[in-house]
Amino acid sequence: NVTDEVWKVYIENQKPNEPDDDFSVL
């Protein structure tokens, strides 16, 4: 669905180098 696509793009754009608390919540 749209949410999965947006979230996928978000992760690809962010590419966090270390764990993020906000990421764990999701």
For residue 10, how many other CB atoms are within 10 A of its CB? 10
pLDDT digits 0-9 by tens, 1-26: 778 888 888 888 776 566 666 666 65
- pLDDT at position 13, please? 76
Please state the length of the chain: 26
Distances (CA, A) of 5 to 1, 18: 7, 22
The pLDDT of residue 23 is 65
Q: What does the block give as tokens for 2?
A: 């749209």
Alpha helices in 1-26 (DSSP H): 2-14, 21-25
**What is the pLDDT, as a whole number, of residue 14?**
74
Domain that holds residue 15: 1-26
Say which residue the tokens 């949410």 belong to: 3
pLDDT of residue 17: 63
DSSP code, position 20: -
Single pTM value for the model: 0.36
